[in-house]
Amino acid sequence: MIYLESFSLPIQQEEDLLSRKAAENGGPLGYIDNPYPCRLFAEKDLYELYFRPVTILYGGNGSGKSTLLNLIAARLGLQRVSPCNTGEMFSLYAAHCAYTMGEDEDGDPCKIPEGSRIITSDDVFDFMLALRTNNEDISENKQEARQDWAQLRYGQTVKLHGMEDYDALRAQVLARRKSVSRREYIRRTAGQEALQTSNGETALRYFEEKLQMDTLFCLDEPENSLSPRLQLQLAELLEQLSRYCGCQFIIATHSPFLLALPGARIYDLDARPAQIKDWWQLENTRTYFSFFQKHRHLFEE
């Protein structure tokens, strides 16, 4: 599915936008501390992008791939959790970007699907940290619950003198029920830890839960925290969702496993000018290929 068909950058308007902002900052003597994202894409001759169900932005650090994702997300009003790097020009620049939507089955322009969002590596890291913190808190609660259980079950009966005693009495009633074991009491009062595996498996589970059908997603380096095996599983998930489940993906990535997604359109932002290339033509994948070719004899033993 193609919800977003094209996205245009206001390259030819950049100097006017900078002049306008400088005037807002101080009239004829106004200046701009940081022109970002102006002048970032002009040298690449990158004026417009055209999208497929899977479109990939490839390039090294500083190439602008994350900036492009953030501009798309800002202009389309996509949901986001983690803030992005901006500056005094970012909102004005994003507002002057233009886009066209694809067509639905009736030939009418698509709308941005509800729930469309940008997911960054920071979102995944925060999820893993929150999961770990939650489990640590529950572990502490369990320690307290173990100590409380014996006191409540065999100690003196709590007297209800007012509402401030209600929670303690309620806990004691639960602890003294014959049908409630010590383990069950702890589970009910302390909570249950969320299933936590390795960071990579937790990160993959995050994508499995967040990537819903019939939605547009911008993914910023989703391979972070994922081993090669898990990157392959993520690639398979993205392929299935884009092919059969009405999803469109715009992905910034270095991963050869994601770059090789079938049918993906890849923009090489390291090239001057920026070019559409096949995944096996990219420097990153050729570096991997050269490395394994050099050591090929080790794999053939």
- Strand pairing category for 98-101 and 4-8: antiparallel
pLDDT band at 289 (very low <50, low <70, confident <90, very high): very high
d(C-alpha 253, C-alpha 268), whole Å = 11
Quick one: pLDDT at residue 193? 47
Task: State yes or no: pLDDT of 51 exceeds 60.
Answer: yes
Tell me which CATH code domain 4-115+212-299 carries: 3.40.50
pLDDT band at 82 (very low <50, low <70, confident <90, very high): confident
> Left if phi > 0, otherwise alpha if psi is -120 to 50, otherwise beta: which for 4?
beta
d(C-alpha 217, C-alpha 205), whole Å = 16
* Paired tokens of 224: 């972070």
Quick one: pLDDT at residue 169? 47
Which segments of the chain does DSSP mark as H helices, in order? 14-26, 65-76, 90-95, 121-154, 166-175, 182-190, 199-210, 228-244, 256-259, 283-294, 296-299
Closest CA to 21 of 11, 8, 7, 36: 36
pLDDT band at 166 (very low <50, low <70, confident <90, very high): very low
Quick one: pLDDT at residue 188? 52
Quick one: pLDDT at residue 66? 94
All residues at 6 or more sequence positions from 198 whose CB lies less than 8 Å from its CB, including other chains? none
Task: State yes or no: pLDDT of 136 exceeds 90.
Answer: no
DSSP states along 241-278: HHHHS--EEEEE---HHHHT-TT-EEEETTSSS-EEE-
8 A C-beta contact, residue 175 and residue 152: yes
Taking every pair of Cα atoms in the chain, the longest distance, rounded to a whole number of angstroms, is 82
Interval 202-250: pLDDT, tens: 888 889 989 999 999 999 999 988 999 999 999 999 999 999 999 999 9
pLDDT band at 122 (very low <50, low <70, confident <90, very high): confident
All residues at 6 or more sequence positions from 146 whose CB lies less than 8 Å from its CB, including other chains? 182, 186
Question: What is the pTM (predicted TM-score) of this model?
Answer: 0.79
8 A C-beta contact, residue 2 and residue 51: yes
- Average pLDDT rounded to a whole number, residues 34-54: 93
Q: Choose between 199 and 111: higher pLDDT.
A: 111
8 A C-beta contact, residue 2 and residue 32: no
Q: What angle do CA 227, 228, 232 make, to 5 degrees?
A: 115
User: What's at 270, amino acid-wise?
Assistant: D
pLDDT band at 86 (very low <50, low <70, confident <90, very high): confident
Among the listed ranges 29-43, 169-183, 212-226, which one has the minimum average pLDDT value? 169-183
Quick one: pLDDT at residue 152? 52
Average pLDDT, the chain: 83
Among the listed ranges 34-43, 68-77, 186-195, which one has the minimum average pLDDT value? 186-195
Interval 99-118: pLDDT, tens: 999 998 888 899 999 999 99
The CB density around residue 157, as the number of other CB atoms within 10 Å, is 10
Domain ranges of the chain: 4-115+212-299, 125-190
Quick one: pLDDT at residue 197? 54
End-to-end, the C-alpha distance of the chain in Å comes to 45
